[in-house]
Amino acid sequence: MTLLQIQYAVAVAEFKSINSAAKSIFISQSNMSTAIRDLEDELGVTLFERTNRGITLTDDGKEFISYARNILVQYHLMESRFTTTNNSKYHFSVVMHHSTYTAKLFAELVKEYGMADYDYSIFETTTENVIKEVKEGKSELGILYISSFSELVYEKKFAEAGLAFHLLEECPVYAYINKNHPLAERDVVSMEELENFPCLFFEQGDNSLYFYEEIVSAYQHKNVIKTSDRATTIDLLNTLDAYSIGIGMTSNSLMQDSIKAVKIKSSEKIKAGYVSRNNENLSPLGEHYIRKIRDYLDSDAVVK
pLDDT (tens digit, 9 = 90+) per residue, 121-174? 999 888 888 999 999 888 999 999 888 777 888 899 999 999 999 999 888 889
Domains of the chain: 3-82 (1.10.10.10), 90-168+271-297 (3.40.190.10), 171-270 (3.40.190.10)
pLDDT reported for residue 3: 87
Confidence (pLDDT) at 259: 87
Q: What are phi and psi of 237, to 5 degrees?
A: -65, -40
Q: What is the pLDDT of residue 46?
A: 93
Q: pLDDT at position 107, please? A: 92
Q: Report the C-alpha gap between 187 and 222 in whole angstroms.
A: 23
pLDDT digits (tens, 9 = 90+) for 60-119: 998 898 888 878 777 766 766 666 555 567 789 999 987 778 888 999 999 988 888 788
The reported pLDDT for the residue numbered 217 is 47
Query: Which residues does residue 260 pair with via DSSP β-bridges, in sequence order?
Result: 177
Residue of higher predicted confidence among 209 and 262: 262
Number of H helices, E strands in the chain: 11, 13
Among candidate residues 273, 131, 139, 278, the one with its CA nearest the CA of residue 207: 131
**Residue 11 main-chain phi, psi, to 5 deg:** -65, -45
Among 36-50, 65-79, 261-275, the least confident range? 65-79
pLDDT band, very low/low/confident/very high, at 39 (cuts 50, 70, 90):
very high
Query: What residues have CB less than 8 Å from 244, skipping those under 6 apart?
Result: 175, 176, 199, 200, 201, 214, 233, 237
Average pLDDT over residues 11-40: 87
CA angle 99–100–101, rounded 5-degree value: 100
**Residue 196: per-residue pLDDT:** 87
Is the CB of residue 22 less than 8 Å from the CB of residue 32? yes
Comparing CA positions, the residue from 284, 299, 296, 294 lying closest to residue 112 is 284
pLDDT of 207 higher than 70 = no
What integer pLDDT is reported at residue 79 of this predicted model? Answer: 67
**What's the confidence (pLDDT) of residue 131?**
92
- The whole-number pLDDT of residue 300 equals 65
Return the pLDDT at 228: 77
Q: What does DSSP assign to residue 183?
A: T
How does pLDDT run across 215-253, given as a tens digit for each residue?
654 455 678 888 877 788 888 999 999 998 888 765 554
Residue type, 13: A
